[in-house]
Each structure stands twice: as C-alpha cells, then as structure tokens.
Amino acid sequence: MRCIGCDRPTDRSLQLTTLFAHGPLLAPRLCHSCLSRFCLITGATCVGCGRMQPTEQLCSDCRKWEHQGRLLHNRALFAYDASMKAWIYQYKGLGDYRLHVAFQDLIAARLRHAAALVPIPSEPKHFELRGFDPIIGLFGCLRLRSWLRKTATERPQAQKTRQERLKTPQSFHVLASEQMLNRARQITLLDDLYTTGRTLYHARDALVAAGFKGTIDSFTLIR
C-alpha cells in the first residue's frame, strides 16, 4: 500500500495489538516519515481534556469546567501544532477527502475497547459545502451510532473567538429514544478537534437531558 502523504510504499506495519483485537483490521496509511511530522500525545496529560503538559493535574480550562459541573474526560491522539493545523486545513478547509484514512490504524487501536461511539455531527450547510462529513470520514472505520443532530448556527466555530465559542448556545438534538440510549452503559463522543470543549460538553449535556444514565467520555483526533 502507498502512503497517502508522499505516495511512497508505506513502511509501517500492522501492530500486533491490532492484529489480535476484535474489530476491523486497518492498515497504516502514512509512512514513518509522514507520520513523524505530527506530534503524538505521549507522557503526562491533563486528566480532564487530554492536553499534553508536564503534570497530570487539571489544566486551567478544565478547572473552569469542573467548577461549572461534572468534568468530561477527553483523550486525544495529536497535539494541535503547525503540521496538524495544515493537515486539518487540507482535509476540512480544502475538502481533500483522500486524507480521511490517514490515522485510521491509530484511531482504531485506541478505540477498540470503547462502547457506543457517537460522532459529533456536521451542520447541514457544512455537509452540503464539503460533500462529506469530516468526523464520519475519520471514524467511519468503526461502528458509529448517529444519535445526535446539529441545528444550524449563525457562524461556524472556526470563525469565532475563544470567548464567542464558549458562549455558543446548545444546538444538539438527540435522535435516539431514552430506551435505545440506555442499552449502552458507556458512550464515547467523537470529534476531530478539542479547542474549548464547548461542543463536546453540549453534546454530553444533550445526551444526559435525553435520559442517558451511563457514563460519557470523549475522544478527539487533536487537542
């Protein structure tokens, strides 16, 4: 198989843990050299949002969330550095759908024990513009439950300041019945990027308001 970054043959092989795991067998689609341009989150992280930092204490953002109610535990694969910003721009901004498989092996390995995987949906108008849902693209290699719908907001998150993002009103509707939700004991919300956490906290709150009684955490490609 060829690397989708540089078109040379991929030199990364399947990890043994992936081989013996239940679920889809997903081959690496980036070579060592292309993958090394990104910063994989390793070592100490904030126990709240999964941000890479020197200690495992709550970061200042998570302390604020904790103050407002129950903390949402997030885990992420990559740090949001210049390489990842450029990658997200090519994938979502320019709509280069080829890239959706870039991290599929790493994503599948991290989520193989997760229970119900619920993707954060795109706004309908963004879907129309791009012609694909970037979150389904990234995580579509796994079994997903499309239990959330998003109504249109006036401006995309990407065009807002941090303060404006934090003030964004709730815009998620839950499509599953209370009975269906509670067949799962645990839900992992999926998104591409954790910035302020606002979107994921809204999704969590919508599921709780719809009667979900289990635990909810989240996983993002980037923090």
49 binds Zn ion (CB under 5 A): yes
31 binds Zn ion (CB under 5 A): yes
Count the residues of the shown chain that bind Zn ion, applying the rule CB under 5 A.
11
Minimum gap (Å) between residue 69 Cβ and Zn ion: 15
Binding mask 117-156 for Zn ion (x = CB under 5 A): ----------------------------------------
Q: What angle do CA 42, 44, 85 make, to 5 degrees?
A: 50
174 binds Zn ion (CB under 5 A): no
Using a 10 angstrom Cβ sphere, with 0-12 exposed, 13-18 middle and 19 or more buried, the burial of residue 87 is buried
76 binds Zn ion (CB under 5 A): no
Minimum gap (Å) between residue 74 Cβ and Zn ion: 8
Minimum gap (Å) between residue 5 Cβ and Zn ion: 4
Cα–Cα nearest to 219, from 103, 75, 78, 108? 75
How far does the chain reach from its first CA to its final CA, in angstroms?
A: 29
107 binds Zn ion (CB under 5 A): no
Minimum gap (Å) between residue 60 Cβ and Zn ion: 8
Minimum gap (Å) between residue 180 Cβ and Zn ion: 31
**Which region among 17-25, 55-63, 103-111, 115-123 touches Zn ion (by CB under 5 A)?**
55-63
Instruction: Single out the residue of 26, 34, 84, 207 in contact with Zn ion (rule: CB under 5 A).
Output: 34
Q: Which is nearer to Zn ion, 101 or 142 (CB)?
A: 101
Q: Which is nearer to Zn ion, 71 or 176 (CB)?
A: 71
**Which region among 6-14, 21-29, 120-128, 186-194 touches Zn ion (by CB under 5 A)?**
6-14
27 binds Zn ion (CB under 5 A): no
**What 3 state SS string does the chain have?**
CECCCCCCECCCCCCHHHHHCCCCCCCCCCCHHHHCCCCECCCCECCCCCCECCCCCCCHHHHHHHHHCCCCEEEEEECCCHHHHHHHHHHHHCCCHHHHHCCHHHHHHHHCCCCEEEECCCCHHHHHHHCCCHHHHHHCCCCECCCEEECCCCCCHHHCCHHHHHCCCCCEEECCCHHHHCCCCEEEEEEEECCCCHHHHHHHHHHHHCCCCCEEEEEEEEC
Instruction: Single out the residue of 21, 39, 52, 59 in contact with Zn ion (rule: CB under 5 A).
Output: 59
Positions in the binding site for Zn ion (CB under 5 A)? 3, 5-6, 31, 34, 46, 48-49, 51, 59, 62
